[in-house]
């Protein structure tokens, strides 16, 4: 075979002719980019609202339920900004069929004239462009606003299938509609009106949010909170989701209006508590452009209950305004206690923890240029705000104590009692830990620990009773599962101080097993297990024990819940066996479904029907297999109702409740700290009447109740 002539470039003569004919450069000149190369061609520029669609979590926190409701908050915040500027006194929020939301206000209405920079209507500009709004610069339309970054309503538009913006101003109704953030027409006048204001209607995008159903309860709580923070403004919530033209109903309606503002809010928070003083402290003052508003009242509770807001945004992580308040509170109370001889020279100063024992407070600041951490605004960072809040609060709270000596005495005496309890708790805690070290046993003896020492790979089951504890110890995976059985019911910590808690053996064992310590020495970094799983019987006693444990974790290990470490095991209610097939049911509905499936199998396998005569001739025994046959008509069906974990053998407990591949668990979360705190106060507090009303209200919702 003749050799091919190859030129200097490595191209054969034949290939060279082809290249010339097709005008394609030789292979050597075709540039290939490797994985390590980085060129301008690889830079993607996102235009308009595309960044929001690409990374929605950057703007609304997440695409879960919190992010979904954040769309409503953004629309409502714009209306609240109008109210804070003094141009709006009524806001209406409506939930409509097909998951539409409509937010209306009677403010000034979004401007519709042409914007100089964008050459578009101002309405279209704020709806379709990030960082566009009347909240920037000295010439902005708002001195104070919650929508600091100017991305709120445009983000709502970007993450919705459909949006409609209506602006009532200049005697006309102006309208523009959008599909996934893009306008479908120009801004146009569609009618005449003597009213002013803005109405935003949107339908969230199911391609962005896995779940697009809004929580009526969550929206009501948020709107009630905003009404407290913006006194004199009426906020109406209407649920029209189940309203049709045929029903001619107006839907479920709630109206919120509080002339007392955050003083009314504090009174609401203390509804089921015994207050230590009748007069609620309140101050409102503006210094250097920062408006400070604080209300507080002490109760006979043992926990701190403080809520902070900046420009009506709930700052869940606090910030400088909270730091300034705490500094002033501790300073004023110590000075007053020393001055009036409640604290002697030999006595220690009250700690911050002592000063906040049983405190309910609402702190609200209005700042012209707030510095928040992230778009979701969970923490305020303006350094000047701390000093302003400290000074304003200190002056007025000091005057309050002087003008109300009886209230002041009740407050200081409670602080001193808290200080003594704290010192007693410290001694008890140190004694517990020191005793463990001296005995060479840092972990409680009844704890069956796992062999894995990596907390991220380990989990702790808190089990009710020694019987269930024994089954759990035998059925577990010793490598990564630890078992801590509890005897009986632990102390109700809602009614006890820390020193009494630590004296309780069950709580003491749990604290040592967790490794985080408790109180002022709590450190989540020392948690010994990634998952803490409460596993109790599916009966009344089991529910009570679970509630007692949840109260303990919520009040003293809240960070553990916030970080997602607490779970509730879901043991099955029924074991259902048909011939050789075994299934487990976790609810009455699931049991009925499984029995129905077995009925179908039975009908397919045999056409022979059981007659009444056969049942009459059969000798009956009062066992569960016979009962199941009588109820279902399926011979060979066995239904076992589990009354407790101890009724399951180790293999069954592993298979149904402890095996990570097959088990069901509920993760404990805190959607609303205020509501959660109220529920624990109601269920576990000293007042009987609120608990009675709660039980009467929710009794019909209870399923699988064993008495």
Determine the 3-state secondary structure of 78 from DSSP: helix
What CA–CA distance (Å, rounded) separates 669 from 562? Answer: 7
Residue 508 burial class via C-beta count within 10 angstroms: exposed 0-12, middle 13-18, buried 19 and up? buried
Binning the chain into helix, strand and coil, the percentages to the nearest 5 are 40, 20, 40
Question: Which value, to the nearest 10 degrees, does the dihedral of the CA atoms of residues 399, 318, 530, 471 take?
Answer: 50
Domain ranges of the chain: 1-43, 52-256, 278-423, 443-571+667-701, 574-641
What CA–CA distance (Å, rounded) separates 72 from 397? Answer: 37
What CA–CA distance (Å, rounded) separates 101 from 204? Answer: 9
pTM: 0.69
Q: In the chain, which stretches have pLDDT less than 50?
A: 1-30, 33, 35, 38-39, 42-45, 135-139, 147-150, 436-441, 608, 610-627, 630, 707
pLDDT at 605 (0 to 100): 65
Tell me which of 1.10.10.10, 3.40.50.2300, 3.30.565.10, 3.90.1280.10 is the CATH number of domain 52-256.
3.30.565.10
pLDDT at 90 (0 to 100): 96
Residue 148 half-sphere exposure, CB side, CA atoms within 13 Å? 19
Q: List 448's β-bridge partners, or say none.
A: 483
What CA–CA distance (Å, rounded) separates 382 from 380? Answer: 6
Tell me which of 3.40.50.720, 3.40.50.12280, 3.40.50.670, 1.10.10.10 is the CATH number of domain 443-571+667-701.
3.40.50.670
Q: Which two tokens stand for residue 585?
A: 């049911």
Question: For residues 52 and 63, is the Cβ–Cβ distance under 8 A?
Answer: no
pLDDT at 170 (0 to 100): 92
pLDDT at 488 (0 to 100): 79
Give the residue numbers marked as catalytic: 464, 537, 539, 541
Whether domain 278-423 has CATH 3.30.230.10: the reply is: yes
pLDDT at 6 (0 to 100): 46
pLDDT at 661 (0 to 100): 92
> What are all long-range contacts of 249-257, with beta carbons under 8 Å and residues at least 24 apart?
251/94, 252/216, 254/220, 254/223, 256/223, 256/224, 256/226, 256/227, 257/227, 257/232, 257/233
Task: Mark out the alpha helices in 606-705 (DSSP H runs).
Answer: 612-617, 624-632, 650-653, 673-684, 688-698
Phi, psi angles (nearest 5°) of residue 165: -115, 125
What CA–CA distance (Å, rounded) separates 562 from 565? Answer: 8
pLDDT at 143 (0 to 100): 52
């Amino acid at each position: 075979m003749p050799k091919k002539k190859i030129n200097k470039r490595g191209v054969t003569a034949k290939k060279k002719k082809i290249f010339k004919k097709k005008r394609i450069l030789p292979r050597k000149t075709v540039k290939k980019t490797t994985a390590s190369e980085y060129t301008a061609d690889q830079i993607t520029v996102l235009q308009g609202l595309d960044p929001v669609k690409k990374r929605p979590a950057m703007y609304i926190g997440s695409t879960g339920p919190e992010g979904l409701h954040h769309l409503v908050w953004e629309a409502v915040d714009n209306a609240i900004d109008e109210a804070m500027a003094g141009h709006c006194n009524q806001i209406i929020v409506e939930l409509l069929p097909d998951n539409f939301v409509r937010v209306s206000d009677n403010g000034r209405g979004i401007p519709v004239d042409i914007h100089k920079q964008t050459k578009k209507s101002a309405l279209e500009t704020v709806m379709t462009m990030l960082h566009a709004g009347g909240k920037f610069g000295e010439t902005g339309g708002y001195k104070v606003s919650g929508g600091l970054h100017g991305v709120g309503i445009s983000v709502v538009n970007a993450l919705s299938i459909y949006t409609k913006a209506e602006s009532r101003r200049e005697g006309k109704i102006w309208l523009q509609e959008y599909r996934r953030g893009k306008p479908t027409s120009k801004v146009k006048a569609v009618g005449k009106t003597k009213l002013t204001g803005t109405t935003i209607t949107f339908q969230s995008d199911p391609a962005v949010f896995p779940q697009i159903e809004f929580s009526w309860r969550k929206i009501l709580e948020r709107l009630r909170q905003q009404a407290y923070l913006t006194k004199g403004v009426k906020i109406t919530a209407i649920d029209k989701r189940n309203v049709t033209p045929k029903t001619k109903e107006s839907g479920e309606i709630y109206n919120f209006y509080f002339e007392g503002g955050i003083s009314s809010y504090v009174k609401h928070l203390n509804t089921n508590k015994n207050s230590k003083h009748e007069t609620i402290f309140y101050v409102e003052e503006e210094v250097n452009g920062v408006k400070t508003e604080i209300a507080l009242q002490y109760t006979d509770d043992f926990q701190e209950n403080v809520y902070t807001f900046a420009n009506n945004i709930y700052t869940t992580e606090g910030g400088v305004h909270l730091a300034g308040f705490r500094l002033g509170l501790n300073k004023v109370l110590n000075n007053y206690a020393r001055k009036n001889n409640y604290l002697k020279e030999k006595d220690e100063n009250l700690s911050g923890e002592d000063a906040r024992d049983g405190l309910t407070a609402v702190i609200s600041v209005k700042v012209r240029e707030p510095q928040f951490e992230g778009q979701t605004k969970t923490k305020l960072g303006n350094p000047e705000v701390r000093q302003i809040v400290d000074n304003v609060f200190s002056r007025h709270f000091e005057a309050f104590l002087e003008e109300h000596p009886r209230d002041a005495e009740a407050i200081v005496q409670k602080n001193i009692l808290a200080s003594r309890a704290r010192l007693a708790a410290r001694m008890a805690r140190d004694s517990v830990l020191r005793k463990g070290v001296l005995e060479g046993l840092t972990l409680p003896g009844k704890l069956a620990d796992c062999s894995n020492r990596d907390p991220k790979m380990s989990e702790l089951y808190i089990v009710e009773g020694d019987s269930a504890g024994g089954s759990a110890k035998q059925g577990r995976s010793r490598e990564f599962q630890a078992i801590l059985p509890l005897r009986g019911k632990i102390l109700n910590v809602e009614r006890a101080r820390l020193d009494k808690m630590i004296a309780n053996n069950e709580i003491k064992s749990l604290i040592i097993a967790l490794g985080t310590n408790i109180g002022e020495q709590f450190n989540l970094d020392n948690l010994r297990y990634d998952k803490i799983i409460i596993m109790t019987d599916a009966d009344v006693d089991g529910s009570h024990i679970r509630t007692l444990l949840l109260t303990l974790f919520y009040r003293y290990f809240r960070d553990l819940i916030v970080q997602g470490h607490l779970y509730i095991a879901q043991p099955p209610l029924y074991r259902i066996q048909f011939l050789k097939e075994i299934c487990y049911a976790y609810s009455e509905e699931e049991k009925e479904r499984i029995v129905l499936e077995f009925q179908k199998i039975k009908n397919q396998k045999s056409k022979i029907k059981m007659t009444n005569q056969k049942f009459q001739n059969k000798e009956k025994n009062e066992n569960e297999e016979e009962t199941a046959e009588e109820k279902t008509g399926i011979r060979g069906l066995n239904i076992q109702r589990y009354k407790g974990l101890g009724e399951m053998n180790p293999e069954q407990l592993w298979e149904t409740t402890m095996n990570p591949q097959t088990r069901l668990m509920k993760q404990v979360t805190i959607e609303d700290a205020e509501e959660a705190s109220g529920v624990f106060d109601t269920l576990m507090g000293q007042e009987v009447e609120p608990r009675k009303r709660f039980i009467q209200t929710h009794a019909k919702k209870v399923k699988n109740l064993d008495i």
